[in-house]
Amino acid sequence: MMRKELAYAGAAGALAAALVAAGSQIAAAQEAHAVNPAPMAPPAGVAPGSFADIIQRVAPAVVAIEVEEKAPLQSAMIQGQDPLGELRRMFPDLPGLPEMPRPGPVHGAGSGFFVSPDGYLVTNNHVVRDAQKITVRTADDRTFPARVIGRDPATDLAVLKVDGHDFPYVNFEDRARPRVGDWVVAVGNPFGLSGTATAGIVSSLKRPNISGSSYVDYMQIDAPINRGNSGGPTFDVYGRVVGVNSAIFTPSGGSVGIGFDIPADVADRVVKQLISGGKVVRGFIGATVQDVTPEIAQSLGVRAHDGALVAEVTPGGPSDRAGLKMGDLIERVDGRPVRSAAELTRAVALVHPGQVLRLNVRRDGRSVALSVTAGVRPAEADLANGAVPQGSSHAAPGTLGLMIAPNPGGGVRIEQVDPASDAAQKGLRPGDVIQALNGRRINSMADVAAAMQAARAEHRKEVLLLVMRDGRHIYVPVKPMGAG
């Protein structure tokens, strides 16, 4: 029986030299705006006679990414390169054994694309996850060393930075959503062949559980993508980025015409946070939930696939403090129906830490309304290991977009800053200590809450923080999130 499996579209494999350069000249993209702001599209209902104009315009923003990883020591024994391997396994501490030979570095390749003229570019997390050295090759065959600005394993996205300016770049699509049957064009670096373009259609939307991520419902396309396309963009016929190539469904390791893209709206949101703060800050309520199967639905007396069943509540976490219990069925969040565990996870992840979520739950046959103040979601690795914080820091009320904790020397210490907040725009950062708010001395969460309540009573649109940083005091005016 033929085995079918899901494969990433590009991390591993030997590097080939870039054989094909994209045809468009970089000089055409030296303007201080995206190369795809308002491209022309074919008349409605008419298939394009050629994709050449679209590709010529956007291809200069697409790059090949070459990765060098350090090979693990164990691989020397696996590859038969260590004649003393058996002796090392039996007597690991035997003195006098020569150092085990280390195999050469492992090479990999992927794709990416510029999203700003000053060198920020997008790719997949799995392309650069283990990289020690990253090289970006542009469409006109220039090479640049790159560094990782931030990675988000939960959505398999990463942002890199190269030094330079006036790079041709592209915008994410935010004016319309692709439909099943729409034409799409993928540009990338399959098997090291940079500047490769393929075309097809959107085959399906909202494919869940493709990579185990609760945050992405993938767009399925039939434009051929292969190993090395990972992290490259997919464009619509207007030349706008509608997705980021991430995975393929394959029985053989090669393309069979089924590829999966991270939708542009998800990528855009994640990329902006990675650029501004180096990581993605998501809401967290401290509850493990699962889907309602037909069997569970029958036992609860509800319809299948409606709601998310609470399987576990983190002690001391936001849900625990709000009174959520194991066995509760969460039916609505802020008035919107919940149809699956993944849908609830995404809804919670989108809120800002400190924001209050209104949950409607079914408990013992009756409806219960709860209000949960979201915290900051820990890293996925910490969640997997059970290392979940239990209330050591709190969201600043109001909310200021800050996670704060008591400071031993007085004041409250900033632990995290929401990249979307005015506080982030004003330059506040972890390690800063807030000592006063609107002239009131601050030494606890309660002090912050009281000062914010007084500011609201005075109808202030901004609050003035006295911040100590590196032994110096500075005043920082901050607009609470949601304030007009």
| Catalytic site positions | 126, 156, 230
DSSP reduced 3-state for 344 = helix
Sign of CA dihedral 405, 452, 313, 285: negative
Alpha-carbon distance of 115 to 121, in angstroms, equals 5
What kind and span of H or E run contains 368?
A: strand 366-373
Going by the DSSP 8-state scheme, the letter that residue 189 receives in this structure is -
Q: Which tokens sit at 107?
A: 């090479």
Alpha-carbon distance of 400 to 463, in angstroms, equals 9
Peptide bond into 399 cis (omega under 30): yes
Alpha-carbon distance of 432 to 219, in angstroms, equals 41
Q: How many residues in total does the chain contain?
A: 484
Alpha-carbon distance of 117 to 313, in angstroms, equals 45
Sequence-distant (6+) residues with CB within 8 A of 89 are 77
Q: Identify which of 288, 296, 306, 15 has the alpha carbon closest to the alpha carbon of residue 137.
A: 15
Specify whether the CB–CB gap between 400 and 414 falls below 8 A: no
Alpha-carbon distance of 474 to 429, in angstroms, equals 13
Q: Identify which of 299, 384, 302, 383 has the alpha carbon closest to the alpha carbon of residue 339.
A: 302
Q: Is 302 exposed, middle or buried (0-12, 13-18, 19+ CB in 10 A)?
A: middle
Alpha-carbon distance of 199 to 196, in angstroms, equals 10
Specify whether the CB–CB gap between 446 and 426 falls below 8 A: no
Alpha-carbon distance of 64 to 110, in angstroms, equals 6
Alpha-carbon distance of 394 to 221, in angstroms, equals 42
Give residue 49's identity as a one-letter amino acid code. Answer: G
- The backbone torsions φ and ψ at residue 379, rounded to the nearest 5 degrees and listed phi first, read -60, 150
Determine the Cα angle at 357 with ends 355 and 361, to 5°.
165
Q: Which tokens sit at 120?
A: 């920020």
Going by the DSSP 8-state scheme, the letter that residue 327 receives in this structure is T
Going by the DSSP 8-state scheme, the letter that residue 172 receives in this structure is B
Sequence-distant (6+) residues with CB within 8 A of 325 are 310, 313, 363
